[in-house]
Structure 1
């Protein structure tokens, strides 16, 4: 099952670049997520499709409001700003810590406790 993650920013511009970087990292690791770049005002139209919402650092103050707008999704603010590789790596690390929907509760807690360290397995890290 492919899950959907929205990378959200204020206008949709920076999320487009960050989504592109995240897709590249996911592809290199053989992981399958449908990654959508969205502006904050596009969330309501796509809320039913989303499993995870990654909030760009500059809109992270909207966490509570976004969580209310997409009640079926996990909403996570990014702490690294920008659209470059460090922000994409943080997004990837966050996604790797989210258990699969077909993972049992016991497995989910184990998965959350065993997130890879930043840049783990990366020859450049």
Structure 2
């Protein structure tokens, strides 16, 4: 797995907490050693120097440009989690999505 430190954000961090847990379970099953933290969107700047991927809940699509503005100076990719995977809290699907990011 290319990404070792992932931050997953949603509005308040609540739903992303469940999603992050499911991603960690899926990663463990594949033998990946990664850290996935869930936080609210207001906390991105507090963690941006510690991460190598920023995953964003699909309901925050409207914030993409702002989040990229924060992440780009640190060379951190910002990706919107696929709606179906996020809605079903499918950690396996999100992990597969992460594997496809270059």
TM-based fold match above 0.5 = yes
Q: State the TM-score, normalized to the length of structure 2.
A: 0.85
Q: Which runs of no fewer than 5 residues in structure 2 stay unpaired?
A: none
- Report what 1:75 is aligned to: 78
Q: Cα offset for 1:84?
A: 2.1
Which protein shows a greater Rg? 1
For residues 60 and 89 of structure 1, do their structure 2 counterparts lie closer, same or farther at Cα, with a shift above 3 Å needed? farther
2:37 match: secondary structure: strand
Q: Distance in 2 between matches of 1:7 and 1:15?
A: 6
Q: Distance in 2 between matches of 1:21 and 1:40?
A: 19
Q: Distance in 1 between matches of 2:69 and 2:24?
A: 26
- Report what 1:50 is aligned to: 51
Q: Does 1:36 align with 2:37?
A: yes
Q: 2:93 aligns with which of 90, 93, 114?
A: 90
Q: Which has the higher contact order (CA 8 A, sep 6+)?
A: 2
Q: Distance in 2 between matches of 1:83 and 1:46?
A: 26
Q: Cα offset for 1:91?
A: 1.6
Q: Cα offset for 1:78?
A: 1.3
Q: Distance in 2 between matches of 1:68 and 1:2?
A: 20
Q: Which runs of no fewer than 5 residues in structure 1 stay unpaired?
A: 100-125
How many residue pairs get matched?
97
Quote the RMSD (CA, aligned, Å).
1.8
